[in-house]
Amino acid sequence: QVQLQESGPGLVKPSETLSLTCTVSGYSISSGYYWGWIRQPPGKGLEWIGSIYHSGSTYYNPSLKSRVTISVDTSKNQFSLKLSSVTAADTAVYYCARWVVVAATFDYWGQGTLVTVSS
Amino acid sequence: QSVLTQPPSASGTPGQRVTISCSGSSSNIGSNTVNWYQQLPGTAPKLLIYSNNQRPSGVPDRFSGSKSGTSASLAISGLQSEDEADYYCAAWDDSLNGPYVVFGGGTKLTVL
């Protein structure tokens, strides 16, 4: 059973960098699939941030690309998100998920973690 | 403003059949497959339908998906109280800035 768990600070100050890690269990990242990040502002819809393959190949949402870096650590079976120059608009629940790239399908999701941007 | 357009709300009574629409364009639904996600209150989204009309293991056959042109639909038959949730459609978008995943704004389904 594939399981994902997000971790990281729940509070980030404006203009700083948001950093989150997703730990995968029950499946080796090196075995395949892309792995992605999706966010959901409170009371709003879903927004895809980007995805990464174990080789380091990435896809990013064009609207966030200039501020986003997604990396992978296969030795720890983890992948990470960094979002720079955050504002209150980046306050959201951040989810990590396994991504079937051909159909752009997220088939396994983490439970999500709320990140609030506030001074 | 979401790239894919969904009605903000839908409703039905137990046992009824309900459909939720998802409208896009030639760069997304018109040229790529559609996925649907169900988000129960306070939980993470769950994959409900993939590749237009395929159900993952464990999803009841009461849920079905279809696509025609630049629109897609999710149908729920034999509506049950536990179906009350938010539903999102999603697809690849072949934009000029590079392909990316787009979501609909979500439809809140109320079981009356």
> In three state form, how does the secondary structure of chain A look?
CCEEEEECCCEECCCCCEEEEEEEECCCHHHCCEEEEEEECCCCCCEEEEEEECCCCEEECCCCHHHEEEEEECCCCEEEEEECCCCHHHCEEEEEEEEEHHHCEEEEECCCEEEEECC
State which residues of chain A have pLDDT below 70.
Answer: none
For residue B92, what is the nearest residue in chain A, using CA coordinates?
Answer: A104
Strand-pair partners of B23: B5, B71
Residue A46: which of B45, B47, B51 has the nearest Cβ?
A: B45
> B39 falls in which pLDDT band (50, 70, 90)?
very high
Task: For residue A45, list chain B residues with Cβ-Cβ distance below 8 A.
Answer: 2, 88, 103-106
Best residue in B36, B43, B46, B101 to probe A by mutation, most A CBs within 10 Å? B101
What is residue A103's predicted lDDT score, i.e. its pLDDT? 85
pLDDT at residue B81, rounded to an integer: 96
Q: Does B48 score more than 80 pLDDT?
A: yes
Q: Are strands A92-100 and B107-111 parallel, antiparallel or unpaired?
A: unpaired
A105 touches chain B (CB under 8 A): yes
pLDDT at A102: 82
- Reported as a single tens digit per residue, the pLDDT across B72-100 is 999 999 999 999 999 999 999 998 877 89
Query: With pLDDT > 90 as the criterion, what percentage of chain B qualifies?
Result: 93
**Which residue in chain B is spatially nearest to A47 when comparing CA positions?**
B103
State the pLDDT at residue B99. Answer: 84
Q: What's residue B97's pLDDT?
A: 77
Cross-strand pairs, B12: B111
With 90 as the cut, is the pLDDT of residue B54 above it? yes
